[in-house]
Chains A and B, each alone.
Chain A
Amino acid sequence: NAGVTQTPKFQVLKTGQSMTLQCAQDMNHEYMSWYRQDPGMGLRLIHYSVGAGITDQGEVPNGYNVSRSTTEDFPLRLLSAAPSQTSVYFCASSLDGGGSGNTIYFGEGSWLTVV
């Protein structure tokens, strides 16, 4: 059971480039989300999805785009990378968002540097 798989693990981008962070889960979870982790800021929610075809914005959505065409996959797109998007990105999945006490499972993270 692979759980939540993120790729790539490390990436360096130039300002203005675009890229997609991939996320896949094999637990048949409806709820998937993307967080970014910055020093002293904890984890902040970028976008989330409560099922295929449904997405919504989190706390810090600007500069990012998502889609959810299947239950398994939830890619995060950086449209035009900026140095402020240098961060560690985590994908997560769960049966719901955590309000019912269900565990949220995290991927191992993607370290992104924008120069």
Chain B
Amino acid sequence: GNSVTQMEGPVTLSEEAFLTINCTYTATGYPSLFWYVQYPGEGLQLLLKATKADDKGSNKGFEATYRKETTSFHLEKGSVQVSDSAVYFCALGSQGGSEKLVFGKGTKLTVNP
């Protein structure tokens, strides 16, 4: 079945450091890929998405590229801020009659000033 594997945290960085959170997936067909972010005490918000191979999703300085050859969708940001502290979830949207998101386990990011 479909699955998502993302790097385990927690990840602790200093402000202005470079961030990479790895995400790989297993799926049949051509899924859509998402990154969701959950700030403390809140629900999940869509951060970015990509719907086909080689697409790059971007938002708030974050980027991720849909790599079909490596089945990956790694999240990157060049310079993190304290306000980026949150839990990040990689997710896969399957197709073919059973459309529902499959989530990774989440990666907690803490950015220190």
A interface residues with partner B (beta carbon < 8 Å): 4, 31, 33, 35, 40-45, 48, 50, 58, 90, 92, 96-101, 103-109
**A97-B93, A99-B32 are contacts. A104–B99 as well, Cβ < 8 Å?**
no
| Residue in contact with A106 in the complex, picked from B31, B32, B44, B93, CB distance below 8 Å | B44
Give the docked Cα–Cα distance between A40 and B10 (Å): 11
CB within 8 Å: A-B pair count: 71
Which stretch (B14-22, B72-80, B102-110) binds chain A? B102-110
Chain A nearest CB: distance from B44 CB in Å? 4
A97 in contact with B100 (CB, 8 Å): yes
CB neighbors of A among B59-108 (8 A): 89, 91, 93-96, 98-101, 103-106
**A42-B104, A42-B105, A103-B49 are contacts. A98–B43 as well, Cβ < 8 Å?**
no
Give the docked Cα–Cα distance between A90 and B91 (Å): 15
A48 in contact with B93 (CB, 8 Å): no
Q: Give the nearest-CB partner of B1 in chain A.
A: A59
Task: Kindly list chain B residues whose C-beta atoms are within 8 Å of the C-beta of A103.
Answer: 46, 49
A98 in contact with B104 (CB, 8 Å): no
Q: Give the nearest-CB partner of B33 in chain A.
A: A101
Q: Give the nearest-CB partner of B102 in chain A.
A: A45
Give the docked Cα–Cα distance between A18 and B47 (Å): 35
Chain A nearest CB: distance from B64 CB in Å? 14
Task: Kindly list chain A residues whose C-beta atoms are within 8 Å of the C-beta of B99.
Answer: 31, 50, 96-100
Task: Kindly list chain B residues whose C-beta atoms are within 8 Å of the C-beta of A48.
Answer: 100
B32 in contact with A101 (CB, 8 Å): yes
